Amino acid sequence: MVTTEVPAPLLSADLLERFRARAAGYDAANAFPQEDFDELVALGYLRAAVPVAQGGLGLGMRQIAALQSRLATAAPATALAVNMHLVWTVTASLLAARGDDSLRLVLDDAAAGEVFAFGVSEPGNDLVLFDSVTEAAPDGAGGYRYTGTKIFTSLSPVWTRLGVFGRTPSDEIAHGFLRRDDGGHESLGDWDTVGMRATQSHTTRLTGAHVPASRIVRVLPVGPSADPLVFGIFAAFETLVAAVYRGIARRALDLAVEAATARTSRRTGESTAADPVVRWRIADAAIDLDGLEPQVDTIAQELDDLVDNGPDWFPRLVGLKVRATETATRVVDRAVTVAGGSSYRADTELGRLYRDVLAGRFHPSSTDSAHATVASRWLGPVGGPAGGGPTGGGGPTGGGGPTGGGPDAEAADER
Ligand SMILES: Cc1cc2nc3c(=O)[nH]c(=O)nc-3n(C[C@H](O)[C@H](O)[C@H](O)COP(=O)(O)OP(=O)(O)OC[C@H]3O[C@@H](n4cnc5c(N)ncnc54)[C@H](O)[C@@H]3O)c2cc1C
């Protein structure tokens, strides 16, 4: 099996055991994993993407993805919650590596110990980054006051910086970073889900939250955008989400093997591991996982290497996310079948993974949206010129690339 290089000293085997031992308790109590979070902060984990010169660990996307997969083998919800902070800091570092310092404040703040949350999702906004149902009212000095609702705000109990955007009266989308201390927001404390419970992704209500001009990083027209910020967010988000679900799949396979070797069949008197059907199921899960491992590494490495995939970038990114989450779901499903009814108990690790892995399908890009993006790349947009596939010369607006508007806008067009 392919194994990914992991900066192991950062996440030692002992640390992972401690996290794994605590995960069931956070899940049962529907509580934020404060002890996990404190340990990660102490390790400098939240500075992973910050360049060494700015006081960070200076890790690249491939290394961070490897760490996130490793963390997710022990505590998926902790990994997913921290992912949101990493998405912003990785976005900032991806932009910086491409000569764009516009998110420098993110790296500076992260270096100073600030915690970033991802205030993107909004109720009923299936255009995601390309429109907003949050109002951004100009303050007259280049800043904005935000009023609206952000849903699923992971890290709600601990964030000190919230990446937000809203629609201005001039039909623009203003992106900025809100300081928790500046007020104008409340957390509804309403997170009570079937899985990923420790992410504590409560609804956030913005009530005129003020972001001064110095913390506004983009004002873009409503609609599809070729802006590097959009590419950066998609690249960081899709790859890191895939990394978390890869970790879940790895752990599920290990648990399936443990279960198979621990049980004996009364019918045959042999270990369950000798049962051909069980063997096939485990092999099937292993084959799936083996295929997933290099997919995450390759995309992450391409981002580190500044590879220019042009209009193929968005199809590749959304494809990775969908394959990773769907593969993880299949692997967990196989593991549960091998382990038997005990894994149906809510307090078993496999039972928890079964619930946690379900969350994968809800993160953008959804399966439908991803398919629309990839279809546009191969077929051109609906109603557009025929023959718009990657080899058919469909041009930049026919593909899912940065100049093609990105995945979710296209998905909305095709629905
Ligand atoms: C574990 C987990 C953690 C996440 N963490 C984050 C995070 O940190 N930051 C982030 O930005 N996103 C986060 N997400 C959100 C995720 O990316 C999706 O946006 C989210 O799952 C909503 O998906 P949906 O639109 O399919 O949900 P839906 O069920 O369609 O909608 C979600 C909510 O919006 C309401 N709604 C839907 N349509 C309308 C409408 N037309 N008018 C009014 N209300 C409507 C629904 O009633 C529901 O309350 C997280 C998701 C999960 C599962």
Q: Please tell me the distance between residue 152's alpha carbon and the centre of ligand 1 in angstroms.
A: 6
3-state SS, one letter per residue, for the chain: CCCCCCCHHHCCHHHHHHHHHHHHHHHHHCCCCHHHHHHHHHHCHHHCCCCHHHCCCCCCHHHHHHHHHHHHHHCHHHHHHHHHHHHHHHHHHHHHHCCCCCCHHHHHHHHCCCCEEEECCCCCCCCHHHCCCCEEEECCCCCEEEEEEEEEECCCCCCCEEEEEEECCCCEEEEEEEEHHHCCEEECCCCCCCCCHHHCCEEEEEEEEEECHHHEEEEEECCCCCCHHHHHHHHHHHHHHHHHHHHHHHHHHHHHHHHHHHCECCCCCCEHHHCHHHHHHHHHHHHHHHHHHHHHHHHHHHHHCCCCCHHHHHHHHHHHHHHHHHHHHHHHHHHHHHHCHHHHCCCCHHHHHHHHHHHHHHCCCCHHHHHHHHHHHHHCCCCCCCCCCCCCCCCHHHCCCHHHCCHHHHHHHHC
The pLDDT score that the predictor gives to residue 5 is: 53
Q: Is 192 in the pocket of ligand 1 (CB under 6 A)?
A: no
Q: Please tell me the distance between residue 161's alpha carbon and the centre of ligand 1 in angstroms.
A: 20
Q: Kindly state the tokens that stand for 39.
A: 């340990």
Measure CA of the first residue to CA of the last residue in the chain; give whole Å: 40
Q: Please tell me the distance between residue 255's alpha carbon and the centre of ligand 1 in angstroms.
A: 31
Which ligand 1 atom is the nearest neighbour of the CA of 128? 19
Q: Is 329 in the pocket of ligand 1 (CB under 6 A)?
A: no
Asked if residues 411 and 365 have their Cβ atoms less than 8 Å apart, the reply is: yes
347 CB-contact burial (10 Å; exposed 0-12 / middle 13-18 / buried 19+): exposed
Give the integer Cα–Cα distance in Å for 32 and 156.
Answer: 9
Q: Whose CA is nearest to atom 48 of ligand 1?
A: 123
148 strand-pairing partners:
206
172 strand-pairing partners:
221
* Nearest to 34, CA basis, from 251, 199, 247, 195: 199
Q: Is the peptide bond before 365 cis (omega within 30 degrees of 0)?
A: yes
Asked if residues 59 and 8 have their Cβ atoms less than 8 Å apart, the reply is: no
* Nearest to 211, CA basis, from 144, 138, 277: 144
Asked if residues 40 and 82 have their Cβ atoms less than 8 Å apart, the reply is: yes
Q: Whose CA is nearest to atom 31 of ligand 1?
A: 123
Q: Is 196 in the pocket of ligand 1 (CB under 6 A)?
A: yes
Q: Whose CA is nearest to atom 24 of ligand 1?
A: 362
The pLDDT score that the predictor gives to residue 383 is: 82
Q: Whose CA is nearest to atom 21 of ligand 1?
A: 362
Q: Whose CA is nearest to atom 23 of ligand 1?
A: 362
Q: Whose CA is nearest to atom 32 of ligand 1?
A: 123
* pTM, to two decimals: 0.93
Q: Please tell me the distance between residue 123's alpha carbon and the centre of ligand 1 in angstroms.
A: 6
Q: Please tell me the distance between residue 39's alpha carbon and the centre of ligand 1 in angstroms.
A: 29
Asked if residues 117 and 156 have their Cβ atoms less than 8 Å apart, the reply is: yes
Average pLDDT per 10 consecutive residues for the chain, totaling 415 residues: 58 97 98 98 98 96 98 98 98 97 98 98 94 98 98 98 98 98 98 98 98 98 92 97 98 98 91 96 98 98 97 96 98 97 95 98 94 95 63 31 40 35
Which ligand 1 atom is the nearest neighbour of the CA of 118? 9
Q: Please tell me the distance between residue 166's alpha carbon and the centre of ligand 1 in angstroms.
A: 16
Q: Please tell me the distance between residue 158's alpha carbon and the centre of ligand 1 in angstroms.
A: 20
Asked if residues 150 and 156 have their Cβ atoms less than 8 Å apart, the reply is: no
Asked if residues 334 and 287 have their Cβ atoms less than 8 Å apart, the reply is: no
Q: Is 121 in the pocket of ligand 1 (CB under 6 A)?
A: yes
The pLDDT score that the predictor gives to residue 224 is: 86
Asked if residues 400 and 376 have their Cβ atoms less than 8 Å apart, the reply is: yes
Q: Please tell me the distance between residue 120's alpha carbon and the centre of ligand 1 in angstroms.
A: 9
The pLDDT score that the predictor gives to residue 2 is: 47
Q: Is 240 in the pocket of ligand 1 (CB under 6 A)?
A: no
Q: Please tell me the distance between residue 196's alpha carbon and the centre of ligand 1 in angstroms.
A: 14
Q: Which residues have C-beta within 8 Å of that of residue 134, sequence separation ≥ 6?
A: 122, 146, 147, 148, 149, 150, 164, 165, 166, 167, 206
Q: Is 26 in the pocket of ligand 1 (CB under 6 A)?
A: no
Q: Whose CA is nearest to atom 47 of ligand 1?
A: 123
Give the integer Cα–Cα distance in Å for 120 and 164.
Answer: 6
125 backbone dihedrals φ, ψ, rounded to 5°: -105, 85
Q: Is 120 in the pocket of ligand 1 (CB under 6 A)?
A: yes
Which ligand 1 atom is the nearest neighbour of the CA of 359? 53
Q: Please tell me the distance between residue 284's alpha carbon and the centre of ligand 1 in angstroms.
A: 32
Q: Is 118 in the pocket of ligand 1 (CB under 6 A)?
A: yes
